[in-house]
A and B are shown apart, each in its own frame.
Chain A
């Protein structure tokens, strides 16, 4: 009997999306290589006109790939969550993705790939406005995206191919639960300090945006990305689940929690991405990046409001906040 998940319909759809986007990406990469070697904007000969047309074709291809990848990333998360129903021991996507070494790396590569594609599209926008000033870096970036897409497909195959539906995996409480005496937070932080840092860093993002302090803004965004990740897992997630010892990043994407995880993580990644993009736009492209910063600040603000909303909702319903986990692992209200 075939124990792998390669024949699962969701997995087939994922492969279909990845392979079809890789095929068109091969075409774009070949065109990009020709542009790198032969581009001369001052020329008006047939080849230069053809290269200019090809550069627009590449933009269209990347736009097409972006629209596929933007669907495939949440679909991948949805798929691993769905697979938790047939993989023994898994309660959500966390168990499935941690089945082998490929899973988390694959998710990371998928996020990086999508971020690079978004980066390419933004760079393309400014390249067009500046009459191809960034054409060659853009084409090199395209080759990097091609390489990452290829690696992504390789990881995707090995991840799903290795999953044996008869082998028991760990559930998310084992993977993300707080064990006695163990502190999962970085730099020895406790939950209170984590929460204070979370709000302070957002205040720093907001104030550096208003004061137009580019470098401080970027530092604040990068630090916030780390602190916010842990804050979601170890402070806000329990309020979403209404269980103090439930810290899974995947369960919140399930129907029981109104798929709120998709909103939480989308706001998180888009807000961080725009924050980092803005410093690149300001310092490298030499363009005013206040608009991307404004979007970043706004999106991260919505991210915080959404999370705080769950805390307030819990308080409204229960007239108490969740208490820190006791060493026994018991759930208690304050």
Chain B
């Protein structure tokens, strides 16, 4: 029997203003699986991946990632877990504009306190994996949308996480760059990463037809197929 790498048990999230973003979610995601979380804006996709990434905590329920009950971890331990186990690609990329591609990527390794040559080797590998090595010394504000996206991918995988989470990754990309991005995602899967994509872009369903799709509506899982 396959062991889940992500387990959500009776998870609810209510924000301080009383909005119920997630309502009693139960979900399992398995190792090396790629899944799409789809749903309209405001359905709870981003909240859900925020909980899986350890960026937020549930109001109720248990979130277990990579064998660790992350919803029970104290903040400092959670930060440490996230640095080692999860890579996140944000919708707006979340890059530091005035730093170079290389600096943006190596910055995420600082908390791991790796030796310099090991860190540099990892950055080179990540840039190769995301096909952005040729722009290593370019500042982010000089990059196109697609290049920024690839830089964000390199930064997400540089700490060798078991799970890569993408939040609306193609929202700022044209069709050609979106296709390139999906090709890169398939590459991540082949290297053993579990990939979770929150999106309402239909291109994923067209170009990744054989993966599991979970539809979220009003904070509840409406259906899961694939």
**Residues of A near any B CB (own CB < 8 A):** 41, 44-46, 49, 52-53, 55-56, 128-129, 131-132
Contacts and interface: CB of A to CB of B under 8 A. Distances in A.
Tell which of B57, B58, B59, B60 has the most Cβ of chain A within 10 Å: B60
Interface residues of B, number: 15
A132 B69 CA distance: 13
B183 interface: no
Contacts, number: 31
Nearest to B60: A46
Nearest to A50: B59
Contact of A44 (B60, B73, B74, B75): B60
Contacts of B61: 44
Given A44-B71, A44-B72, 4 more contacts: A41-B72, A53-B57, A131-B72, A132-B74
A55 B74 CA distance: 9
B77 A49 contact: no
Contact of B59 (A41, A49, A128, A131): A49
Nearest to A53: B57
B76 interface: yes
9 contacts: A44-B9, A49-B58, A49-B71, A52-B74, A56-B74, A56-B75, A128-B77, A131-B72, A132-B74
B81 to A, nearest CB: 12
B38 to A, nearest CB: 27
A301 to B, nearest CB: 28
B10 interface: yes
B60 A129 contact: no
6 shortest A-B CB distances, which residue pairs?
Answer: A128-B74, A44-B62, A46-B60, A44-B61, A46-B59, A45-B60
Contacts of B77: 128-129, 131
Interface string B1-24: 000000001100000000000000
Contacts of B75: 56
A219 to B, nearest CB: 35
B160 to A, nearest CB: 24
Contacts of A131: 72-74, 77
Interface in B72-102: 72-77
A52 B60 contact: no
